[in-house]
Chain A
Amino acid sequence: MHGLVNKSIQCFVRDTYGAATWAAVVREARLGFDSFEPMLTYDPALTEAVVAAAAHQLQRSRETLLEDMGTYLVSHPNVEALRRLLRFGGVGFVDFLHSLEDLPGRARLAVADLDLPDLELTDTGPDCFALRCRSPLRGVGHVMMGLLRAMADDYGALVLLDIQTGSGEGEGDVIAIQVLETRFAEGRRFDLAARAG
């Protein structure tokens, strides 16, 4: 698993629950080092061990943990850069949904060996979509649930989400998305070129 993915799990645990919790996760997962390097690639078993250790340390289910991580990726100030990149997806939440299929390709433009979850969006009706997520990381659909929920808040949209966890190999998780209101709340401000100064 790419170091960036591992590092984001690490930052999520550290920023949300503190350095002591991360140290406990490191010990339980028997990492042998205390921090992931973002530009190295690691054995997927390590990622699995870290997720399991974090769930155990925090006494939470794997699903809840992964969903909270998805929310963290969009809403925590330490990872604002990521939220900005996601907002490049479109001016509204529905545009953003349509941009998701391009996300792995866009990420690869920046980091050639970064394999994000494979995302496939289909229209299932007026304002209804199904997002299929496939990844070697089991339960990646829950990360996307948290991420979508936080992005809907970011755009000020009101959405209903429901996940069907994939059972078979390579089947992936499917998230049913119903957009009830695209301008439900104010949402957070976003300018394409906001970095100057």
Chain B
Amino acid sequence: MDGAPFDSTIQISTDALDRLMPMHVCLSASGHVVACGPTLRKLATGTSMVGRWFFELFEIRRPGGISDLAGLRQRVGSRLYLALRGQPSPGFRGMAMPLADGQGLLLNLSFGISIIDAVRRHALTDADFAATDLAVELLYVVEAKSAVTDELRQLNLRLHQAKTAAEQQALTDTLTGLRNRRALDIALTEAIISGTAFGVMHIDLDYFKAVNDTMGHAAGDHVLREVAGMLCAETRVGDTVARAGGDEFVVVLPGLADVARLTAIACRIIAALNEPIDFEGHPCRISASVGMTISSFYAAPIPDQMLADADQALYACKHAGRGRALMHQPPTPARVPALTLHITEA
């Protein structure tokens, strides 16, 4: 290699600079704008930037404390965060470098993160960006991503709705772990189809609302779970114990249609529920009323009819003073003697 020493400064026409860096600003030694790129010119609507003092046009937000050319010269080569004064746009990032005259500075700017906003606000096109700029690719990726995300979001919503529906259709009461209303209907239908006689008990807690109101929902939830445990303990493995809603429970007892035995079971349940339930050291006092019916009362048992009859017997218990068990009285000539049982606390 020989020849003259290579001059490391280059010269470029403003026209070429406009093409290479459409968002550049050339500053004079005094900090006035000598030239600026076409895209930047587009942003300063109505006014010309050329000839204006740079620091009056732009605010350098970070690094802080730059308010004149001397300050900016000290930050040559650092990333700058700037904004056009009086414009709501989120701003630019940029970098300043000294010009060969040793006096002025050349700044190159870009939109950074605010590019999508800027393209929309100023109706920018591919031609407003340098050929090497990936701005349009970024816009493309964001649009493509948004389209895919929208699809996924809708799928997500559909799955969420399906999940909610499945949960509703599930057979378990989430609070107590007992069977739920839907499971109860299935159990009743199955008992009817099986053809063997069965009993139905409708159990309603007494004074439960008072526990909820005075000791809070946590105590109420605790009581419901304890009641669920007792009901399971007092019934057989093959019986269906369901929470029909609120503080109401229904037990279906396949193969058990004997009035006296059912009444005895109801009596045990009421006695068990009369015992205070401990919640964090405080006793919760409840009781229960039980309405019953048996499938042998009906020529063709219907689940809703049996539940309504057990409910009516329950209503009669409540009317007679709670803490009782009553068997439904079929309208036909009395085949079953009315059995009433009143549990008193020991």
Within 3-29 of B, Cβ neighbours of A (below 8 Å) are at none
Q: Which of B62-70, B199-207, B248-256, B320-328 contacts A (4 or more CB under 8 A)?
A: B62-70
In the complex, what residues of A have CB within 8 A of residue B149's CB?
111-112
A171 contacts the other chain (CB 8 A): no
Please report whether the interface of chain A is mostly helix, strand, loop or mixed according to DSSP. Answer: mixed
Closest to B65 in A: A123
Cα distance A119–B149 in the bound complex, in angstroms: 26
Binds B, one of A58-66, A101-109, A146-154, A181-189: A101-109
- Residues of B within 8 Å of A102, CB to CB, are 112-113
Contacts A37-B156, A39-B156 known; A112 to B146 CB distance under 8 Å?
Answer: yes
**Docked CA distance A30–B114 (Å):** 40
**Bound CA span A112–B146, Å:** 8
CB distance from B135 to the nearest CB of A (A): 13
Q: Determine the chain A residues whose CB is within 8 A of the CB of B114 once the complex forms.
A: 105
List 19 A-B pairs, Cβ < 8 Å: A30-B217, A37-B156, A37-B160, A40-B156, A40-B157, A95-B79, A98-B62, A105-B113, A105-B114, A109-B113, A109-B116, A110-B145, A111-B149, A112-B149, A121-B62, A122-B62, A123-B62, A123-B64, A123-B65
A9–B269 Cα distance when bound, in Å, is 44
* B150 → chain A closest CB, angstroms: 9
Q: Which residue of A lies closest to B66 (CB)?
A: A123
Min Cβ gap A57→B in Å is 14
B92-146 at interface with A (beta carbon < 8 Å) = 112-114, 116, 142, 145-146
Chain B 201-243 interface residues, beta-carbon cutoff 8 Å to A: 217
A 91-145 contacts with B by CB, 8 A = 95, 98, 101-102, 105-106, 109-112, 121-124
Count of A interface residues, CB-CB < 8 Å: 18
B160 & A98 in contact (Cβ 8 Å cutoff): no
Residues on B with beta carbons closer than 8 Å to the beta carbon of A109: 113, 116, 142, 145
> In the complex, A102→B114 CA distance in Å?
9
- A125 nearest CB neighbor, chain B only: B64
Q: Which 5 A-B pairs have the closest CB atoms?
A: A123-B64, A105-B113, A102-B113, A39-B156, A109-B142
Task: Looking at the assembled complex, report how far the CB atom of A192 sits from the nearest CB atom of chain B, in whole angstroms.
Answer: 14
Q: With both chains docked as a complex, state the minimum distance between the C-beta of B292 and any C-beta of chain A, in angstroms.
A: 34
The tally of residues in B whose CB lies under 8 Å from a CB in A reads: 21
Complex-state Cα separation, A30 to B220, whole angstroms: 14
Contact A98 B81 (CB under 8 A): yes
Residues of A within 8 A of B79 (CB): 95, 98
A124 to B136: give the CA distance in the assembly, Å. Answer: 36
Q: How far is the CB of A23 from chain B (nearest CB, A)?
A: 13
Nearest B residue to A113 via CB reads: B153
- Chain B residue nearest in CB terms to A38: B156
Chain B residues lying within 8 Å of A106, measured Cβ to Cβ, are: 113
For A40, the closest partner residue in chain B by CB is B160
B156: nearest residue on chain A (CB-CB)? A39
| Interface flag for B152 (CB, 8 Å) | yes
B51 beta carbon closer than 8 Å to chain A: no
| Chain B residues whose C-beta falls within 8 Å of the C-beta of A95 in the assembled complex | 79
A86 shortest CB reach to chain B, Å: 15
Query: Chain A contacts of B145 at CB under 8 A?
Result: 109-110
Please report the C-alpha to C-alpha distance between residue A109 and residue B64 in the assembled complex, in whole angstroms.
27
In the complex, whether B77 has a CB less than 8 A from a CB of chain A is no
Instruction: Give the shortest distance, in Å, between B176 (CB) and chain A (any CB).
Output: 14
Whether B283 is near chain A, meaning CB under 8 Å from some CB there, is no
Least CB distance from A45 to B in Å reads 16
Closest approach, in angstroms, between the C-beta of A95 and any C-beta of chain B?
7
CA distance A95 to B116 in the complex (A): 23
